[in-house]
Chains A and B, each alone.
Chain A
Amino acid sequence: MISEILTRLRFLVTAKTQAEVDDELRFHLEHLTEANMAAGMPPEEARRQAAIAFGGVERTREECREQRPGRFMEAVVQDVRYGLRTLRKDPGFTTVVIFTLALGIGANAAMFSVIRAVLLKPLQYRDPDRLVRLVLAVPRRNVPDQAFNEVRFEEMQSASHSFSKLGAFGPLENLTLSGSGEPEVVNAARVSANFLNILGVEPVLGRSFLPDEDRHGGPAAAMISSELWRRRFNGDPQVVGKSTALDEVSYTIIGVLPAGFAFPVADIDIWVTRPSEWSALPSGAWRTVGLLKGFARLNPLVNLEQARAEMSVLQKRYALAHPNPVDADPSVTMGVVPLRDQLVSNVRPMLWMLFGAVGFLLLIACANVASLSLARATSRSREFAVRAAIGATRRRLVGQLLAESLLLAVAGGAGGVLLEKWSLHAIVRMDALNLPRAAEIRLDGVVLGFALVVSIATGILFGLFPSLSVSRPNIAGILREGIGAAGRGAWRFLSSRTALVVGQVALSTVLLIGAALLLKSFARLHSVDPGFRPSNLLTLRIALPRAKYDTDAKKKAFFQELMRRVTAVPGVQSATAALSLPTKNSLYTNIMKVEGVDLADKDFGLPDMQLQSVTPSYFQTLGIPLQRGREFTAGDNAPGAPPVVMINESLARLFWPNYPTGRDPIGRHIWEGADKAIGELEIVGVVGDVHERGLTSEPRPEFYVPLIVHPPQRAYLAARTQGADPLGLANTIRNEVLAIDRDQAVSDVHTMEEVIEESVGQRRLTMVLVGLFASVALLLSVVGIYGLVAYSVALRTQEVGIRRALGAQTGDILRLVLSQGLALAISGVALGLIGTFALTRVMKEFLFQISATDPPTFVGVALLFVLVVLAASFIPARRAARGDPLLALRVG
């Protein structure tokens, strides 16, 4: 064994020379001649017979060389150098191929890095596989992740055995941070005191929360992010123990969290305890209003299934104890979902779909490049025949072609990585994507490895077709008669190219139909009547500090003065202040009693009724139609006025299913319960439904009270303007706010149309991206089809010439060529339609009010494709029909 290696090493250094082999072969031939002469042949004849018996020496010389150790590497180097030379000689081809591949590989690598960071990588917590989210799903109302109340949370905490620790987080808030510097609005999260314990994260400074800090009325403690610590406290190591003010309430800073910590979401500046103490609600509502979302760490010996089973038992027990219509609904479930899956649940289907789309794009690009290489290989068949004749083995020919493809693919891959680097920057910055874990997206070794593997796979994929076709050349035929007469071979290339083009058309059809469906959905979405008129509306947000505006009277005075001033601004038609606006975070509460209606649960009433608190001009300003009764008046807002309420159509139907016929809701009383401050209310009007939760979700039962009944701490201002540019009035209105209170901050200044756009931003982006991919795919297929038809026309020049000589008209020739293109288009489109049917399940999730097998879309895209293919075939067809038949015959 060792001696064998030594021998090989020796020969690696001192290779045998070509002359040695030649000497040996000559010696052999001479012996053969002598043997013939010994058998009695004349010398001339003996030499001739010997040469015939001996055969060609080139292949033997080549094969002797092949035996040499290290020959493989030498061949690779030779192939690569030769490949580089040939590619340089054909810059047009090289550029087109590299660009096409860069596009395909870049898009795939970018999507891969996003998917890896967002969907695949484990969360950066201790034992992340054991972390779960408790997800309350209300399928009947289409709420996938409903917040639950503190009562249920405490029951789960005390009764469940599946979890070693169970915690909750509440609604996110914007609080005003003051003390030690300028006041600023920060993102705050309310979490249970055990949250770091559950996640297994240690603060970089200070300590975690204590159980006592979770008690209503307990000490007020806050933890800050590393970012806030550096930005606002200059990284002061003594920051722990300092006190700071949030909405003018004093908190003690007890710790600093590690950089990049992103729970429950990214970009939180400050964490405080008591998750149900949402500042938008009065303290009476904290226990019964659904505000919490649960998360937990599984006990070591418990699996997901066991935890789910236990939760479903607890859910049944809770429903029995609280038989109100929503809680007792048997379709309501408390699910246990891995924390990571829940975190990314809103983007997962979209990301996989986009990954699929770019995968298709890469395949189409591959098909195009393969088609181009095939064409190029055909025109190089003479070169290959010559190489085969002078001794190249089949392996060397295939190796040569593969080396060229791999060179192209790796160059394309390098271009792709550049493209990826650039597009990742763009992706991370796209707010509309709403990507969780966006900070973890980066171009690292794994992603580069992926790009390399994809490039090589691509190179082999598109290099294989031409290599296999070319490596068995009909040497004699090609050398003797030139390319034109290597007919059979050329037709063989043609059939491989046909398969490629059909595949390409099929894939593009799928993409194009997907894009068309998304486009249509988006159009439908925009034609949804939101229930109000969003044009010419300026909106902005005002948060009144709790310490400064501590009484209802102060809040009411502020809003009254604000309305008086804003309404007086020239260009403002009407203005309103409201607790919430459509698509913004709204407030849900319980209705305890309804006059003349029997509610099943006397303790909890009807939960999850949306509460709006508005100034009288709200309905007029937003353009919400009044159906019955009257709107609020200034008198309803006067102190001591009898409390009144307006309800929406959905709520009226909930109480009186026969509405608008049957019993008249006007004049009846309802009792609001979760917020004890409100109590009894008299219905004075019914208004139309508004899509409060965005255009895609159905309106829900909602009731409106005058602002004085429930003066909010944070409110939105909406002003309907006369001009078409509401933002033009933004500064004037901001100044009016400052004129009342020069410390009052104004935020989120947008037009209502922008607000609605933002709520459908992810859909728009998905549509745009898929549309983009589909257009590129269409373009590539058109190029592919054009190339193929042109090539086959060139092959058929002689046939066309004969036909024309025999009397075929221009129209006949056109028909002949176009029918070929048409056959391609139809088979491709048919395959594509089949593929699309197979993928309907995937698409359904992204569509709105349109079937995934929408017939007009399918027919439309199919027709479009057929037309495009006909157009692409027309140019070569006309060339064939117009050419000189004599010339055509002579060429043959």
Chain B
Amino acid sequence: MAESTDLLQGTLDLLILKSLALAPMHGWGIAERIQQVSKDALQIGQGSLYPALHRLEYKGWIKSNWGVSENNRHAKFYSLTRTGKKQLQAELDNWDRLTNAIALVLERI
């Protein structure tokens, strides 16, 4: 099972939201996409992915619809809600602030 504990708390949420910003996707697609884009550096296991998806859906940031996947299978597609879009922007700003701050500290000390 791929470990996701290296990810900062909350970072997974940001990655999921960002992935869904382009188009609705199913769980497998999200994991695959993050893995590809990060050049296999980030592997999201199902044990972290689905609880996170459920959490976000319960928060109302994403919503799910059953649809048909590219290989013609019944699959659950997640997409961003309006609050989710706003939330994504807020999380991105947060992320920028945090990484800038950490970069500053790393440079100066």
Whether B59 is near chain A, meaning CB under 8 Å from some CB there, is yes
Q: Is the CB of A27 within 8 A of B28?
A: yes
Q: Is the CB of B55 within 8 A of A67?
A: yes
Contacts of B73 in A (CB 8 A): 27, 30
For B43, give the chain A residue with the smallest CB separation: A53
Given contacts A3-B60, A4-B59, A55-B46, contact A23 B74 (CB under 8 A): yes
Contacts of A68 in B (CB 8 A): 54, 58
For B31, give the chain A residue with the smallest CB separation: A28
Of the four ranges (under 10, 10 to 19, 20 to 34, 35 or more), the interface on chain B belongs to: 20 to 34
Q: Is the CB of A23 within 8 A of B76?
A: yes
Whether A844 is near chain B, meaning CB under 8 Å from some CB there, is no
Q: How far is the CB of B25 from chain A (nearest CB, A)?
A: 12
Contacts of A21 in B (CB 8 A): 50, 54
Set A8, A31, A53, A56: member contacting B58, Cβ < 8 A:
A8
Q: Is the CB of B60 within 8 A of A8?
A: yes
Set B55, B60, B74: member contacting A4, Cβ < 8 A:
B60
For A29, give the chain B residue with the smallest CB separation: B46
Q: How far is the CB of B81 from chain A (nearest CB, A)?
A: 8
Whether B10 is near chain A, meaning CB under 8 Å from some CB there, is no
Q: How far is the CB of B108 from chain A (nearest CB, A)?
A: 37
Contacts of B31 in A (CB 8 A): 28
For the complex, give the distance between the alpha carbons of A30 and B60 in Å.
Answer: 28
Contacts of A20 in B (CB 8 A): 76
Whether A63 is near chain B, meaning CB under 8 Å from some CB there, is yes
Given contacts A4-B83, A24-B27, A30-B73, contact A67 B51 (CB under 8 A): yes
Given contacts A27-B73, A28-B28, contact A69 B58 (CB under 8 A): yes
Contacts of B76 in A (CB 8 A): 20, 23-24, 27
Q: How far is the CB of A75 from chain B (nearest CB, A)?
A: 15
Contacts of A664 in B (CB 8 A): none
Q: Mark A51-63, 1 if CB is under 8 A from B, else 0.
A: 0011111011001
Q: Is the CB of A27 within 8 A of B26?
A: yes
Whether B1 is near chain A, meaning CB under 8 Å from some CB there, is yes
Contacts of B71 in A (CB 8 A): 34
For the complex, give the distance between the alpha carbons of A358 and B10 in Å.
Answer: 49
Of the four ranges (under 10, 10 to 19, 20 to 34, 35 or more), the interface on chain A belongs to: 20 to 34
Set A11, A24, A59: member contacting B47, Cβ < 8 A:
A59
Contacts of A63 in B (CB 8 A): 47, 50-51
Contacts of B21 in A (CB 8 A): none
For the complex, give the distance between the alpha carbons of A24 and B64 in Å.
Answer: 11
Q: Is the CB of B51 within 8 A of A53?
A: no
For the complex, give the distance between the alpha carbons of A59 and B71 in Å.
Answer: 28
Q: Is the CB of A28 within 8 A of B54?
A: no
Q: How far is the CB of B45 from chain A (nearest CB, A)?
A: 7
Q: Is the CB of B51 within 8 A of A60?
A: yes
Whether A76 is near chain B, meaning CB under 8 Å from some CB there, is no
For the complex, give the distance between the alpha carbons of A64 and B45 in Å.
Answer: 14
Q: Mark B86-103, 1 if CB is under 8 A from A, else 0.
A: 000000000000000000
Most B CB contacts (10 A, CB to CB) among A7, A8, A16 go to A7
Given contacts A20-B76, A30-B73, A54-B1, contact A25 B46 (CB under 8 A): yes
Whether B12 is near chain A, meaning CB under 8 Å from some CB there, is no
In the complex, chain A residues 305-323 whose Cβ is within 8 Å of any chain B Cβ: none
In the complex, chain B residues 28-67 whose Cβ is within 8 Å of any chain A Cβ: 28, 31-32, 45-47, 50-51, 54-55, 58-60
Contacts of A60 in B (CB 8 A): 46-47, 50-51
Contacts of A743 in B (CB 8 A): none
For B73, give the chain A residue with the smallest CB separation: A27
For the complex, give the distance between the alpha carbons of A55 and B45 in Å.
Answer: 9
For the complex, give the distance between the alpha carbons of A25 and B74 in Å.
Answer: 12
Whether A66 is near chain B, meaning CB under 8 Å from some CB there, is yes
Q: How far is the CB of A9 from chain B (nearest CB, A)?
A: 10
Q: How far is the CB of A157 from chain B (nearest CB, A)?
A: 74
For the complex, give the distance between the alpha carbons of A533 and B69 in Å.
Answer: 108
Q: How far is the CB of A57 from chain B (nearest CB, A)?
A: 8
Contacts of B74 in A (CB 8 A): 23, 27
Q: Mark A5-20, 1 if CB is under 8 A from B, else 0.
A: 0111001000010001
Contacts of B15 in A (CB 8 A): none
Top-9 shortest CB links A-B: A7-B60, A55-B1, A63-B51, A31-B28, A67-B54, A67-B55, A64-B54, A4-B60, A60-B47
A sample of 18 cross-chain residue pairs with beta-carbon separation below 8 angstroms, ordered by A number, consists of: A3-B81, A3-B83, A7-B59, A7-B60, A16-B54, A24-B27, A25-B46, A27-B26, A27-B76, A28-B46, A55-B1, A56-B47, A60-B46, A63-B50, A67-B55, A67-B58, A68-B58, A69-B58
Using a CB–CB cutoff of 8 Å, the interface residues on chain B facing chain A are 1-2, 26-28, 31-32, 45-47, 50-51, 54-55, 58-60, 69, 71, 73-76, 81-83
Using a CB–CB cutoff of 8 Å, the interface residues on chain A facing chain B are 3-4, 6-8, 11, 16, 20-21, 23-25, 27-28, 30-32, 34-35, 53-57, 59-60, 63-64, 66-69
